[in-house]
Structure 1
Amino acid sequence: MAESFIFSIAESLATKIASRAYEEASQVVGVYDDLQELKSSLSYVKAVLLDAEQKQEQNHQLREWLKQIKLIFNDAENVLDQVDCETLRNQVIRDYGTPKDKVGRFFSSSNPLVFRYKLALQIKDIRKRLDRVAADRDKFGLQVIDVDRRVVHRREMTYSHVVESDVIGRAHDKEKIVKLLMEPSLDNNGDSKHISVIPIVGIGGLGKTTLAKLVFNDERIRESFPMKMWVCVSDDFDIKQLIIKIINAVTVSGANSADALVAQQTLRDMDIEQLQYLLRNKLTGQKFLLVLDDVWSEDRAKWVELRSLIRIGGDGSKIVVTTRSHSIASMMGTVPSHDLECLSLEDSLSLFVKWAFKEGEEEKHPNLVTIGKEIVRKCRGVPLAIRTLASLLFSKYDINVWESLRDDEIWNLPQKKDDILPALKLSYDQMPSYLRKCFSMFSLFPKDFDFQTRHVLSLWSALDLLPSPSKNETSFDVANRYLSELISRSFLENVCDLGTHYYFNIHDLVHDLALYVAKDECLVISSESQNIPKNVLHISFFEFDMFLKSFKPSLLGVRTIAVPTEEHIGIGDNNEDLFPTWVLNCKYLRYLDLADSTFEILPRSISKLKHLRYLSLRDNGRVKKLPASICNLQNLEELNLSGCVELQTLPEKLRNLINLRRISITTKQFVLPEDDLANLCLLERLHIYECDNLESPFVGVKLPTLRFLWITRCKNLKSLPLDKHHFPQLEQFVVDECVKFELSDGHEDMNSVLRLKALFFCMVVNFPRSLHGYANTLQTLVFLRCYELEALPEWLLNMTSLKFLHIWSCPRLLSLPSGIHCLKALEVLRIERCPRLYRKYQPHVGEYWHQISHIKHIQILQ
Structure 2
Amino acid sequence: MKLLIPSPHLTGLLQSSSIPPHSSIPFPPSSTGTLMADALLSIVLDQLGSLIQQQIHQEVSLVVGVETEIQSLADTLQLVRVVVADAEKRQVKEELVKVWLQRLKDIAYQMDDVLDEWSTSLLKSQIERPESPSMSKKKVSSCIPSPSICFKRVAGRRDIALKIKDIKQQVDYIANQSNRFNFTTRFSNEEPQRLMTISAVDISEVCGRDKDRDTILRHLLGESCEQNLGPYIISLVGLGGVGKTTLAQLAFNHHEVEAHFDIRIWVCVSDPFIPVRIFRDIFEALYEKSSDVHNPEVLQKKIQACIDGKKFLLVLDDVWNEDYQLWEQLKNCLKCGGGGSRILVTTRNESVARMMRSTYMHSLGSLPLEQCRALFSQIAFCGKSIDKIEELEEIGKNIADKCKGLPLAVKALGSLMQSKNNKQDWENMLNSEMWELDVFEKKLSPALLLSYYDLPPPLKRCFSYCAVFPKDRTIQIDDLIKLWMAQSYLDSKSDREMETIGREYFENLAARSFFQDFEKDVEGNIVRCKMHDIVHDFAQFLTNNECLIVEDDCENLKTKLSRQKGRHATVIVHGSTRLSFSVNNARNLHTLLVVSDNWCRIDSFPLDSFQQLKYLRAMDLRGNDSIVELPREVGEFIHLRYLNLSYCSRLETLPETISELCNLQTLNVRYCLNLTKLPPGIRSLINLRHLQIRANYCMLRTLPKGVGRLTSLRTLSLFIVGDESGSDVCKIEEMRNLKELRELEITGLSKVEDAGEAEKAELKNKKQLYGLTLNFQPWTSQPVGMKEVAEALQPHPNLKSLRIAWYQEWPRWMMEPSLLQLTQLFLSYCVRCQCLPPLGDLPLLESLEIQWMQQVKNVGGEFLGSSSKIAFPRLKHLSFEDMLEWENWEVKEEKGKKVLPCLLSLKIEGSPKLTAVPDLLVQRTPPIKLFLT
TM-score (norm 1): 0.83
- Identify the match of residue 223 of structure 1 among 255, 259, 266: 259
For 2:636, the equivalent position in structure 1 comes to 608
Partner of 1:490: 513
* Offset, 1:324: 1.4
SS at match of 2:734: coil
Contact 2:687 2:712 in 1 (8 A): yes
1:449-501 alpha-carbon deviations (Å, 9 max, x no partner): 11222221221111111124854x43321211110110110111122343566
1:184 aligns with 2:223: yes
2:147 is the alignment partner of 1:115? no
2:161 matches 1:126: no
Check 1:739–1:542 CA distance in 2 against 1; reply closer, same or farther (3 A cut): farther
Larger radius of gyration between Structure 1 and Structure 2: 2
Partner residue of 1:675? 705
Separation in 2, partners of 1:477, 1:356: 27
Higher relative CO (Cα under 8 Å, sequence separation at least 6) belongs to 1
Residues 649 and 668 in structure 1, CA contact (< 8 A), matched pair in contact too: no
After TM superposition, list the pairs within 5 Å mapping 1:295-306 onto structure 2: 295-306=319-330
Letter in 2 for 1:701: E
In the alignment, residue 739 of structure 2 is paired with which amino acid?
T
Q: 1:317 aligns with which of 341, 350, 355?
A: 341
Query: What TM-score comes out, normalization by structure 2 length?
Result: 0.77
Amino acid at match of 2:593: A
- Contact 1:29–1:112 (CA<8 Å) still a contact in 2? no
What per-residue deviation string (whole Å, max 9, x for no partner) do you get for residues 251-309 of structure 1?
Answer: xxxxxxxxxxx544x51146434433332332223222222222222222222222222
2:498 equivalent in structure 1? 475
How many aligned positions are there? 820
Q: Secondary structure at the match of 1:520?
A: coil
Which residues in structure 2 correspond to 1:359-508 (within 5 Å)?
361=385, 364-414=388-438, 419-468=443-492, 470-471=494-495, 473-498=496-521, 499=523, 502-508=527-533
% identity of equivalent residues: 27
Q: Which residue of 2 aligns with 1:595?
A: 622
Q: Secondary structure at the match of 1:494?
A: strand
User: Partners of 2:682 and 2:763 in 1: how far apart?
Assistant: 19
- Aligned 1:231-380 pairs, distance under 5 A: 231-250=267-286, 263-264=288-289, 267-269=291-293, 271-358=295-382, 361=385, 364-380=388-404
Alpha-carbon offset, residue 203 of structure 1: 1.2
Contact persistence 1:295–1:322 (CA under 8 A)? yes
**Partner of 1:702 in structure 2?**
735
Q: Secondary structure at the match of 1:388?
A: helix
Distance 1:642 1:764 in 2: 24
* Larger displacement relative to structure 2 (723-732 or 598-607): 723-732
Aligned to 1:572: 603
2:214 to 175, 187, 192: 175
Question: Aligned in 2, Cα 1:194/1:558: closer, same or farther, shift over 3 Å?
Answer: closer
- Give 2:46's aligned residue: 15
Which of 564, 579, 599 does residue 534 from structure 1 map onto?
564
Residues 735-763 of structure 1: per-residue CA shift (max 9 Å, x gap): 59998599989777963634213447999
Cα distance per residue 1:612-631 (max 9 Å; x no partner): 11222222222322221111
Does the C-alpha gap of structure 1 residues 412 and 550 become closer, same or farther in structure 2, counting only changes over 3 Å?
A: farther
SS in 1 for 2:438: coil
Q: Among 37, 60, 73, which residue is 1:28 paired with? A: 60
| Residues 116/546 of structure 1: CA separation in 2 closer, same or farther (3 Å cut) | same
CA offsets per residue over residues 671-690 of structure 1, 9 Å max, x none?
42253221111111123399
1:137 counterpart (171, 174, 178): 178
CA deviations on 1:794-827 (whole Å, 9 max, x unpaired) are 5255224879977498799999998998999x9x
- Partner of 1:682, secondary structure, is coil
Q: 2:683 aligns with which of 655, 667, 676?
A: 655
- 1:154 matched to 2:201? The reply is no
Instruction: State whether structure 2 residue 98 is matched by structure 1 residue 75.
Output: no
Match of 2:839 in 1: 795
Three-state SS of the structure 1 residue aligned to 2:602 is coil
- Partner amino acid, structure 2, of 1:700: E
Shift of 1:438: 0.9
Counterpart contact for 2:673–2:699, Cα < 8 Å: no
Q: Deviations over 1:70-116 (max 9, x none)?
A: 22222221121122211222233336998897566530486333233
Distance 2:408 2:99 in 1: 33
- Kept after mapping to 1: 8 A contact 2:667/2:691: yes
Q: For the Cα contact (< 8 Å) 1:353–1:390, is it kept in 2?
A: yes
1:561 alignment partner, SS class? strand
1:202, 1:339 within 8 Å by CA — same for their partners in 2?
yes
Instruction: Tell whether the 8 Å contact from 2:573 to 2:597 is kept in structure 1 after alignment.
Output: no
- Residue type of the alignment partner of 1:89: K
Q: Structure 1 stretch 553-562 or stretch 654-663: which is displaced more?
A: 553-562
The offset of 1:347, in angstroms, is 0.7
Range with greater deviation from structure 2 (485-494 or 720-729) = 720-729
Distance change in 2, residues 1:430/1:830 (3 Å): farther
Cα RMSD after superposing both structures:
4.5
3-state SS of paired residue (2:360):
coil
Partner Cα separation in structure 2 for residue 42 and residue 93 of structure 1: 33
Q: Is the 8 A contact 1:88 1:658 kept in 2?
A: no
Relative to 1, partners in 2 of residues 1:805 and 1:344: Cα closer, same or farther, differing over 3 Å? farther
Q: Secondary structure at the match of 1:200?
A: strand
Give the aligned residue type for 2:629. Answer: I
Q: In the aligned structure 2, how far is the partner of 1:697 from the partner of 1:225?
A: 55
Question: Who is 2:860 aligned against?
Answer: none
Contact 1:198 1:334 survives alignment (8 Å): yes
1:144-188 C-alpha deviation (Å, 9 max, x unpaired): 33424585572343136x3x232111111111111112212332x
**Contact 1:393–1:402, Cα closer than 8 Å, also in 2:** yes
| 1:238 Cα deviation from its structure 2 partner | 2.4
3-state SS of 1:158 partner: coil
Report the residue type matching 2:106 in the other structure.
Answer: L
Distance in 2, matches of 1:24 and 1:448, equals: 48
User: Does structure 2 conserve the Cα–Cα contact (< 8 Å) formed by 1:636 and 1:657?
Assistant: yes
The SS at the match of 1:199 is: strand
Task: Pick closer, same or farther for the CA change 1:386–1:36 going to 2, 3 Å.
Answer: same
Number of the residue aligned with 1:841: none
Tell me if structure 2 keeps the 8 A contact 1:596–1:620.
yes
Which one of 611, 627, 642 corresponds to residue 584 of structure 1?
611
Question: Aligned equivalents of 2:634 and 2:143: distance in 1?
Answer: 21
CA distance in 2, matches of 1:785, 1:280: 35
Identify the range of structure 1 (55-64 vs 618-627) with the bigger mean alpha-carbon deviation.
55-64
CA deviations on 1:726-784 (whole Å, 9 max, x unpaired) are 47245232659998599989777963634213447999999978447776653643779
What residue is the counterpart of 2:671 in the other structure? 643
In structure 2, C-alpha distance between the alignment counterparts of 1:331 and 1:810, rounded to whole Å: 48
Distance across 2 between alignment mates of 1:381 and 1:412: 17
Q: Contact (CA 8 Å) 2:721, 2:731: kept in 1 or not?
A: no
Residues 39, 396 of structure 1: CA spacing in aligned structure 2 closer, same or farther, 3 A cutoff?
same
Change (3 A) 1:329 1:698: farther
Contact persistence 1:228–1:289 (CA under 8 A): yes
1:380 is paired with a residue whose SS is: coil
SS in 1 for 2:204: helix
The residue number in structure 1 matching 2:27 is: none
Structure 2 contact 192–505 (Cα < 8 Å) conserved:
no
User: 1:78–1:550: structure 2 CA closer, same or farther, 3 Å change rule?
Assistant: closer
Provide closer, same or farther for how the CA distance between residues 663 and 670 of structure 1 changes in structure 2, counting only shifts above 3 A. closer
Q: Distance in 2 between matches of 1:459 and 1:108?
A: 33
CA distance in 1, matches of 2:357, 2:386: 43
Local SS of the residue matching 1:610: coil
Paired with 2:543 and 2:300, the residues of 1 have a C-alpha distance of 40
Whole-angstrom distance in 2 between the partners of 1:366 and 1:610: 57
1:849 positional shift: 4.9
Q: State the distance in 2 between where 1:820 and 1:129 align.
A: 75
